[in-house]
Structure 1
C-alpha cells in the first residue's frame, strides 16, 4: 500500500506525529504525478520540483499551521493562487499569473497546504466535460477514452489516481457532483454562501455557483469544508456551518430519504443509472434509514426555464466584457457565446419571472422537507461519454436541445443553493462509476456528511476500487 492511498486526515496525523515528513509526501506525490498525469491530464501548470521540495522542507521545520500542514494540493484553474497561472481554460488568459490568492485559496494556504499546481477545467467552467484549448482534455482514469466530467474534472481525476488526497472544486451546474460520481470519489456542493467567492463586481444578484470540497472520504470533505467556510466581512452574504468534522462522530438519527427517481418521467436516464441508484438506496435502507419514492410536485420544464434564464444572465454578466470585444469574442467557445447572447437579450421581467419560479420551487421544497430529511437523485443522467465528444446529443433516445440539458438532474438543488453530497455508488456493467446526490435543506451540511459517512463506512468504494491505471 502506498502512502498516497491514505486519506488526507490520516496523512495529516502522520505528519503531525513525524511518522511521515512533508518531503517524503511531496516526493511520493510528484512521483505519482509523473507516473499517471500524462495519461489523465488532470493536473496542469505543475510547479518546479525543486521549489516544491524546498517548501516541503520548510514545512517540516516550521510550526504546524493547521491540519493541512505539509499536504500537497492543486487548485482548480478557475481560482487564483498567487504566482501560478489562471487560464480558466481560455486562450485569452493562457499564461496569466495571479497576483494574489482568492479568499478560499488563502484559507487553504493558512491551514498549511502546499500548492503544487492547478487542476484542469473546461473553458470558464462551462459544461460538465473538462476540455479546453490551453491544456486539452482530462481523461477518466477508469477508462481513458471517456470524459472525467466537469467542470471539476481535473480535481476528481487527480483524487481518483491518488495524485491528490483532497481538492477544491466549484459547482454551478453539477461541477462538484458529476465528476465526483464519474471518478468514484466524493464531492460536496455546500449551502450557498458558506464558501465566499471574491468581493468583486456585483455581490447581490448571482447566487448560483459555489466552491466546495472533494475527497475520497466524507471525513476529509468535512475537514476541508471547515477550512473553506466562513463569512467574508467584505461581502454581504455568508453562512458558516461551524465545526462540521466533529459532528461526524455523533449518532445519526434515522433519516427519511425521498427518492425523486426520474422526476415522474421528465429526466431520461441511460440504461443502468436508475437501477444502480435504486440499489444504493436499498443499501441505505438496510443501514437503518427509511427510503421512499416521493413526488417532486413541480414541473421540470418550469425549473429548466428558470434555471437557464438565471444562468445565462449570470454568465453574460461575467463574460460580457470579452464578448463586446470582437477579437476576444472570436476566442470564446460556442457555449459561452450562446450563454452571453441569451443573457444580453433578456429583459427585467423575464428575470423576474424566473426568480418567481425559483421562489415557488423553494416553497415547494419546504413542504418536501416536512415529509423527508434528504432528497435523492442520480449525480448524472448517463455514464461517462467519449472524451472526444463536445457534449452528448441524446440520452436514451431523447435529443438534448442545449449543450447542458444532459445535466438537468442537478438543477433542483443548484437553483436554490441547497447543500448536496455526491456519494459514489459503484459501477455499471460497462465498468464505469456513478454517483448519487444526497440533497438537504439549507444549512444541513453536517447532517448530509453524517449520512455520507455512514454510507462510506459500509462501502468504501474509493478505497476498494481504485482505477486500473494504478495497478
Structure 2
C-alpha cells in the first residue's frame, strides 16, 4: 500500500500545499489502489477514465491558490448528481441517467478543488443498510469479504477503509452514514438537519429526515469536509450557519456522556455488541469524561410508529411516480414498493400524529441535553451479516417485522434531526468492526467533533487496524 494513502485529508492537503507531493502523484497512487482492491470490494463504480483523471490532477498542480480540498480524489455517493457521471441510485430505472449538473454539495466540493473520480455504491434508492443492487452488484466488507459492509453509504465507507480515498460524502436517512461507518472502522457524521442543504427541488419545507454528511478516518477530516458541504442555501428555508470547526482541544473533565445502551432493553442486540460499546465509553471515561447510564427517555413504540409513518410518507412523495409508470414499476425492488404503497395509503392526520410524536421526542431530548453533551448508542444492533442475506430476519432471537427494524437504534437521532457522529468502537471476537454513535443537541455539531477528536487521539482505531484485503 502506498504510504501516502495512509494519510488523512488534512495531512494530504498540508503535503500538497507545501509541495511535498503533487496531485498527480496522489492520483496515480489512488488509481493503483483502486485497481488492486476494487475488483474484490466493488466500492467505487462508474469510474472516470484514468488518463482523464491524471490530466485533472496535473491541472490541479499548476492552478494557483486552491481550495480546502484541492487535489484530493473523491467518489460521490451514487444517490447524488455529479456532472458527467451516471446517477443510477442503484436502480435499473436510472441505470443510463447521466447527470447534467452537480448537486449543491457536490458543486461545493468541486469548487473547493476536489477531483471526482467516480461514484460510491449504494443499495437501490439507498433503502436498507446492505449495499447491493442489480446495476452495480454488491459491495463487501473489507474486513471480511463474506459479510455486509452496511449502507446505504456502504461504498463510501469501504472506499475509506480500503484507502481508496481519504474523505467521502454520504447520506443518512436511517443511519446510512453511521451504520456503515461502524461496520468499516471509520467515522461517519449525520449533521444537524439543515446544516448541509439538500437540492432545492420539489418540497423544501416538510420532509425533514434525510441529510448529506461527511465520512472519514478521523474527526479532523470529518470537520474539513463538513465545512465545505455545509452552509445555508438562500433558496431553502431551513438552513443553518456553518459553525467554527477548528477543533481546538477541550477539557475532558467538562464532557458529560449519557450511555443509552439498548434503550432499557427495548432494542434486541447481538451478543457482544453492548459490551464492546461499553468498553468504548470506558475509553472516554478513562480520558476524564463523565460517563453514566441513562434510562430510556421516550417510548420505543412511539418513536417507531412516528418514524415509519414519516419515512413512508417521504418515500412515497419521492418515488410514487416510478410505481405509477408502467415502464418503471416492475424495476423497483419490493422494499421500495412497500414504502411507496404504505405512504400513499396514509391520511394527513396520520402524518400530523407522527409529527406530534416527533415533537414530543425532540422536547424530551432537549431536556436530556441540559445534563449531557452527548448520548451514546451502538451504531448497529447486529454484527455484519452474510452477503447473501437481504436483511436479518431476527436479532437475538427476536423476529424483525420490516426490512429496516434491525436498525431501530438509529431512529432517535434521525427522527429529531439531531447530529450524530459514529466512531469506531473496536472489534468483536469475530474480528468484525462495530461502532458507537454520539448524539447531540441540534446545533452541537462542533461539540460532537471535539469529543470525537479526544477519543480518536486515544484510540486511533482506523489507523492502527487497517483491513487486510485478500486479492486473488
TM-score normalised to structure 2 length: 0.98
Aligned partner of 1:19 in structure 2 is 20
Structure 1 segment 317-466 matched on structure 2, within 5 A: 317-466=317-466
Structure 1 segment 53-452 matched on structure 2, within 5 A: 53-244=54-245, 246-249=246-249, 251=251, 254-452=254-452
CA contact (8 A) 1:272 1:428 kept: yes
Partner Cα separation in structure 1 for residue 369 and residue 249 of structure 2: 24
CA contact (8 A) 1:64 1:112 kept: no
User: How far apart are residue 331 of structure 1 and its match?
Assistant: 0.4
Partner Cα separation in structure 1 for residue 198 and residue 253 of structure 2: 33
Partner Cα separation in structure 2 for residue 370 and residue 219 of structure 1: 26
Partner Cα separation in structure 1 for residue 137 and residue 58 of structure 2: 33
User: How far apart are residue 252 of structure 1 and its match?
Assistant: 5.4
Partner Cα separation in structure 2 for residue 43 and residue 248 of structure 1: 34
User: How far apart are residue 366 of structure 1 and its match?
Assistant: 1.4
CA displacement, residues 368-391 of structure 1 (integer Å, 9 cap, x when unaligned): 112222100000001100111100
CA contact (8 A) 2:79 2:89 kept: yes
Partner Cα separation in structure 1 for residue 231 and residue 201 of structure 2: 17
Partner Cα separation in structure 1 for residue 75 and residue 423 of structure 2: 22
Partner Cα separation in structure 2 for residue 185 and residue 366 of structure 1: 28
Partner Cα separation in structure 2 for residue 100 and residue 251 of structure 1: 44
Q: Secondary structure at the match of 2:370?
A: helix
CA contact (8 A) 2:323 2:337 kept: yes
Partner Cα separation in structure 2 for residue 124 and residue 79 of structure 1: 11
- The count of aligned residue pairs is 470
User: How far apart are residue 283 of structure 1 and its match?
Assistant: 1.2
CA displacement, residues 341-392 of structure 1 (integer Å, 9 cap, x when unaligned): 0000000111111011001111111111122221000000011001111000
CA contact (8 A) 1:80 1:98 kept: yes
User: How far apart are residue 251 of structure 1 and its match?
Assistant: 4.7
CA contact (8 A) 1:192 1:418 kept: yes
CA contact (8 A) 2:252 2:289 kept: no
Partner Cα separation in structure 2 for residue 71 and residue 117 of structure 1: 13
CA contact (8 A) 1:424 1:435 kept: yes
CA displacement, residues 193-250 of structure 1 (integer Å, 9 cap, x when unaligned): 0001001001111000000000000000001000000000111110123231x13345
| Gaps in structure 1 of 5+ consecutive residues | none
Partner Cα separation in structure 2 for residue 177 and residue 80 of structure 1: 22
User: How far apart are residue 254 of structure 1 and its match?
Assistant: 1.8
Partner Cα separation in structure 2 for residue 453 and residue 441 of structure 1: 18
CA contact (8 A) 1:241 1:446 kept: no
Q: Secondary structure at the match of 1:291?
A: strand
1:227/1:251 CA distance change after superposition, 3 Å: farther
CA contact (8 A) 1:391 1:403 kept: yes
TM-score normalised to structure 1 length: 0.98
Q: Secondary structure at the match of 1:415?
A: helix
CA contact (8 A) 2:297 2:365 kept: no
CA displacement, residues 286-325 of structure 1 (integer Å, 9 cap, x when unaligned): 1110111111231101100000000000000000110111
Partner Cα separation in structure 2 for residue 311 and residue 339 of structure 1: 8
CA contact (8 A) 1:131 1:138 kept: yes
| Gaps in structure 2 of 5+ consecutive residues | none
